[in-house]
Amino acid sequence: MLIQQREIPPVANDMMNMLHEDEVEVVNRFHDAVIARDIDKIDELFEEVIADVEVHFATEEAMMETANYEFAAIHKGDHDTMRVKLKDLHERWKILKGPKEVKGFLEKDFKSWFKLHISKWDSDTAPNI
C-alpha cells in the first residue's frame, strides 16, 4: 500500500475529503499493479489515475473559482505541476513500459507531493470555498 487513509489530514470541506479518499484508493490499486509488474493492469490503471486526478483537481478549481478564492491561481499552479509530471511519465510509460520508473515516481515523488499539497494548499483553501 502506497498511502494509508490515516496519513491524509482531513480538511474543512467534505467534498475535498471525498476526492482525497477516492484518490488514495485508486493510487493504491495502481501501486499494487506496479509492484506486481502487471503491464496490462498498469496500462489500464494509469488511465484511471490520470482521469481521477483530473476530477480531483478540476473540482477544486471550480469550487475556488465560484468562491472567488484569493489564492486560486497559485493553488491551481501546484495542480498544474503534477498534471505535467503525470502526463510526461505516462508518455514515457507508453514507450518504455518500465514499472521501476513508475514505482520510483509514486514512492518518491507523488506520495510526498500529495501529502504536502493537502496539508498546505487544500487545508488553507477548504475553509474559504
Q: Which residues bind Fe ion (CB under 5 A)?
A: 60, 122
Cβ proximity to Fe ion: between 93 and 114 the closer is 114
State in angstroms the smallest separation of the CB of 9 from Fe ion: 11
Nearest residue relative to Fe ion (C-beta): 122
Measured between alpha carbons, how far is 109 from 101 in angstroms, rounded to an integer?
A: 11
State in angstroms the smallest separation of the CB of 20 from Fe ion: 6
Cβ proximity to Fe ion: between 83 and 92 the closer is 83
Q: For 62-74, give the DSSP string.
A: HHHHHTT-TTHHH
Close Cβ partners of 52 (under 8 Å, ≥ 6 residues apart): 22, 23, 26
Do residues 10 and 17 touch, judged by C-beta distance below 8 A?
yes
Cβ proximity to Fe ion: between 52 and 89 the closer is 52
State in angstroms the smallest separation of the CB of 46 from Fe ion: 20
